[in-house]
Chain A
C-alpha cells in the first residue's frame, strides 16, 4: 500500500549554532509510511556514523520486508500482526550493526545513538523509541508529547525526586538511560496509537525540545500547519535563535486522509489469491 498520497512529510536538520558537525540523522520513506530520526553520540565523527547506520539499516531493511509483506498481515504462528515484531527486529538489527562496528573499530568505540521511528499503516502509527529523541502530536487545538524519554532526568521526575519545573534547570539533561548500539542487546519501547486525518506528528532530537518551549512548538505547528516545509524550517530556526546549542532535527508528518488496511471477506480472498 503506497502512502505517498496520504502522508505529507517534511524534514529539516541543522548542526545548530555551536557544534561543528551534525550527529543527527533523519530518513523518511513516504511510500511505506516510515520515518526515522536518530541523534548519535560518541567521539570525533562516531556519533554521525552511529546515527547514520541506525537510519540506513532500519529504512533499507524495512523497505525490503515491506516489498512483499504488509504491516497488518497476521503471523500464522502467533496470530498477531507482524508490524510490532518487524519494527522491533529492525531496531535490534541496527543495534547489532552499530555495536559490532563499535567493538571492532577502535575509532568507533563507545558510539551509540538515540532513536525514534514511526511506521504508519491502517489508520494507526507504531512508535518505537530509545533515549531522549521525541515524538509529539498536534491534533485539533492540542499539542502533546507522545514518547517518554529514557533519561536520568525523566527517571528522577518519575520517582518524585525532582519536579518538572526543577528538571528544566537541571544540569544532567544529556544523560540517557537507553540507547542503540551501546550493549549487545536492547529493548526498544514500542507503542501503537490510532491516527486521525489532520494529525501532525513531530519527531525531533533534543536539540529542539531543549531550546524551544513546548508551547512555542505547538503554536508553530498550529500557525504554520498549512506549510509543513516552512514549519520544519521555522522550528529549526527557533532553536537556533534561542542559542542552538545542539544539533537540531525535525521530521513532520501530516495525515491527509484515512488509510485503512483492507478488511473483511474480500481482503481475505485477495490475500488467499496472492
Chain B
C-alpha cells in the first residue's frame, strides 16, 4: 500500500498509509491528515487513491500545494514525490510493483496488443467516481475532483490488464533489443555504440571535403538529375537509389533497385562525383 511520510525540518513525524479512497489534508480536525499550522488551509488538499494510483488535488487552498517545487492544482503522484505544505513535507512512497515474474506468459504476450477501453467500462467507473465526488461535497472542487477521479477510474478499468505491466512491458522491450544492438530502441534513435561512417569527396569542386553520416539518412546528389540516400541502420550503412535515370555506382558497378550495403573504403560515383565511404575509428 502506498503511504505518506510527514516530516518537518528533516524530522520524520508520522507515516500515513493511504488506506482510503480519499485522504484529506488540512488544518481542521476532521481531516484524515491534520496539520495544525496557519500556512495550511482548513481543507487544503485531497489524495484520491485507486488501486496503485494516487492523485493529489489542491482544494483551493490559500497558500497552494507544491509538489517537487512546482505549485500544482492536480497531480498524479509518483514514487518519492515531495508535497510541501508550509513548513511541512509529505513524501509519497508508492507501492512496490507487484512481482510479474509469475504472470502467465500469455498475459505478457497479450499486453502490448492494442485494446479498447469500452465506454461501458468507463461509464461504470465514472459513476463510481461521481459518487465519490458527491460524497466529498459539491461545488467547484467537487466537480474537479470528479474529473480527476473519472480519469483515475478509467485507469483502474484498464488496470486489470495493466497491473502487471511494469515488468511485463520491460520484458517485451528486452526481447527485440536482444536481436538488434541494445542502443537501437525507440527512445534512443542516436546509436552511440555503432561505428560512425563518413564520406569524403574525391572529385568535383568540393574534392577533399568530408561529410559525417550521423543522421539516420543522408541524401546525396542533385535533385532532378540523380539522388541517392545513405541510410544508417543497426547492420551498417546502405546506399539506395532515389531518383534519376541512372543509378549510382559502387566500386564501378551500378547498384540495383534494392539497398546496397556499404563496406569500408567503397567508392561511390553519383551525379558525376566520386566519393569514398569509410568507417571512422
Contact = CB atoms under 8 A, between A and B. Distances in A.
Nearest to B188: A242
Contacts, number: 132
Given A159-B151, A172-B158, A244-B176, A219 B165 contact: no
Nearest to B227: A226
A18 to B, nearest CB: 6
Interface stretch (B32-40, B86-94, B112-120, B131-139): B112-120
A244 B243 CA distance: 28
Interface residues of B, number: 51
Top-7 shortest CB links A-B = A243-B176, A171-B165, A179-B116, A226-B243, A41-B114, A223-B219, A227-B242
A243 B186 contact: yes
Contacts of A224: 217, 219, 229, 242
Contacts of A174: 111-115
Given A216-B216, A226-B227, A234-B217, A155 B115 contact: no
Contacts of A206: 114
Interface of B: 55, 73-74, 76, 111-120, 122, 147-148, 151, 154-155, 158, 162, 165-166, 169, 172-173, 175-177, 179-180, 184-187, 189, 215-219, 223, 227, 229, 231, 233-234, 240, 242-243
A131 interface: yes
Given A241-B184, A241-B233, A243-B180, A220 B217 contact: yes
A161 interface: yes
A152 B179 contact: no
> By CB atoms of chain B within 10 A, which of A18, A174, A227 has the most?
A174
Interface in A158-175: 159-162, 168-169, 171-172, 174-175
Contacts of A114: 114
A51 B183 CA distance: 33
Interface in A197-240: 206, 210-213, 216, 219-220, 223-224, 226-227, 230, 234, 237-238
A161 B113 contact: no
Given A174-B113, A226-B223, A161 B74 contact: yes
